[in-house]
Structures are given as C-alpha cells and as structure tokens.
Amino acid sequence: MTDTDKNLFGYDKNPTNILPQKYTLDSKIKFRCHPGVSCFTACCGNIDIILTPFDILRLRKYLNLPASEFLLRFTTPIYIEKTDMPGVKIHLDENGRCPFVTDEGCTIYPERPSACRYYPVGMANFHEGGEEGVESERFFFLVKEAHCKGHEEDKEWTIREWRADQGVDLCDEMNKEWLELVMRRKSFGFQATLSEQAKKIFFMVSTDLDKFKEFIFNSSFLDTYEIEQATLDAIKEDDIALLKFSFKYLASSLFGTNDLKIREEKIKAKSAEMKEKRVEKEKEAIRTFEELKAERDRLQEKLEKQKKQ
C-alpha cells in the first residue's frame, strides 16, 4: 500500500496515539474541545502545522496581509515530509507555541489551518499499489493523546457531524488536488529528483498566489499556454479560481498532465529545438569517432613502421 495523507498533517509522529480502528462517516466518537477543558490550548505548541495553499490564502486574507508578508512573519520553509517538495509550516515562537494562541484560545479560529480542524480525526486514503484509475479506500482514524482531555467529555458525534462542525469538507475540497500532487511526488521517492527550477516554481505557486498571478500576466506564460479568456477573467478577479488554476498548472508543469494546453507554435519550436540539438549531438559523435579512428590509424601506421625497422 502506498502512503496516506495522514503524514502530511503530522499524525503519524507517534503511531501509538492512533487508535487501531477504522472509522466511517457514520461512526460515533465522544469528544469536545472548549475553554473549560483543563488542557485548553495544550495542543497549540510543539507541533508542525503544515499550511496548504488554501490555508495560506484564507489566513492572509483574514489577517489582511499580502502573501509575502504573511509568509515572512508567520511561517518557516520546510520540505514536505518524505518528498523534495518545498512548503511552509507555522513558525512557532521562542516557547515553541503557535503565534496565534492566547490564554483565551485561537485568535484566528474562524480561519484556522486544515491541520487544526482535522484534529483529532484523521483521514486516510489508501491507494492500492498507487495504480491509476484504482479506486482508493477512504477511512478515518482517531488520534488519542494522553494530554488531550477532550476525549473524556460526554458530547457524542458521528464523524460526519464532527467534520461538518469543523468545516473540514471545504478544506478537503480545496486541498484535494494539491495533496494529490504531493502524494504523487511521494510515490516517486527520491530517485527522480525535482530540478531546482521546478522546486522554486512549486514553492512560489503553492505559497504566494500574488506572485503566481504576476507570473501569469507579466511573463511569457501566456505565450506558452493557451488559456481561455473566461478562465483568465476569473483568475484575475477570484482567488479561489486562481488557486484551482494553480493546481492545474503544477500538475501540468511537474507531471506533464494535459490540464493546460501548450500553444501549438511552442510545441513546434520545442521539437525543432530538440531536433537541432539531436542533429548537433549526432554530428559531434561522428566528429569524435573520426578523430579516434584517425588517431588509431596513426598509431597502427607507426607500429607497422617500427616492425619494418
């Protein structure tokens, strides 16, 4: 079986905290987190909170900051677990606490990151053999850590009710394509490394939609890709449309999918360039061969002369 997306949100750091039971949307759990629990905000420190592109977008809007400033002030660059794909996590303060936590709780609660919403219910997508077109098996699991007293509360929910309460369906929808890119990359392992240029592009597109928009409209991007006017209008005005478009661009540029159409003349120019390179390589190989042959002939001639003497 291949990896699951549970790794990304850090739940597998200590697998003994994961209950050995598969949950469905209708399974029931007892849990409640509120300011009255003795452990209130205990979980908001010493953790890796990886931010998805959707998390970054909603957080920086909530904080009314440009992406670049949000990234600088509140995040640390990382490599997403078990991949060479760069991303960001929340930068903890000098006490190892999340910068958004206070004694009263989370100051960004309405827009808190996906990882904080999922806790303590994780979701796994097992994809047998990683084969294309094979339906993956989705199930849920419960994380039960000793310090978390929420499990001792009486409130009962189905997983479905809990997820609706936490607003994770929207996160799932917005994170899905990006997570698929990460999982796809993970399945390659480290044998096929991403070029430095590809890593930079992945990082820029995944973290800073302002820069990505600039890249679309103020570079040779539109000379390369054929994008419908309606799509261009949408991504100019609507950040969610831009976010969704960014996933298509990443899939196409990193994995060669057909999500974006490359202009015919670019394909022709590229294949002409490749042909020119190939012809040049062939000429070079012939030159090298002839030089070696001439050298060998010279040596042979010399040897024959020596034999005759």
Shortest distance in whole angstroms from residue 39 CB to ligand SF4 = 3
Q: Tell me: does residue 43 bind ligand SF4 (CB under 6 A).
A: yes
Q: Tell which one of 1, 15, 30, 42 touches ligand SF4 (CB under 6 A).
A: 42
CA distances from 56 to 131, 173, 181 (A): 31, 15, 17
User: Which of these ranges, 134-142, 147-155, 234-242, 246-254, lies near ligand SF4 under the rule CB under 6 A?
Assistant: 147-155
106 in contact with ligand SF4 (CB under 6 A)? yes
Nearest to 262 by CA among 221, 301, 217, 299: 221
Least Å distance between CB 182 and ligand SF4? 20
Residue 44 within binding range of ligand SF4, rule CB under 6 A:
yes
Judged by beta carbon, residue 9 or residue 100, the one nearer ligand SF4 is: 100
> 65 to 94, contacts with ligand SF4 by CB under 6 A?
none
Q: Of 60 and 186, which has the nearer Cβ to ligand SF4?
A: 60
Lookup: tokens for 73: 């002030």
**Residue 40 binding ligand SF4, by CB under 6 A:** yes
CA torsion through residues 206, 209, 211, 214, sign: positive
Q: How far apart are CB 223 and ligand SF4 at their closest, in Å?
A: 41
HEC per residue, 138-201: EEEEEECCCCCHHHHCCCEEEHHHHHHHHCHHHHHHHHHHHHHHHHHHHHHCCCCCCCHHHHHH
Q: Which is nearer to ligand SF4, 3 or 81 (CB)?
A: 81
Burial class of residue 120 in the structure, from the number of CB atoms within 10 Å of its CB (0-12 exposed, 13-18 middle, 19+ buried): buried
In whole angstroms, what is the distance from residue 246 CA to residue 269 CA? 25
List residues near ligand SF4 by CB under 6 A: 33, 37, 39-44, 49, 98, 100-101, 106, 108, 112-113, 116, 119, 147-150
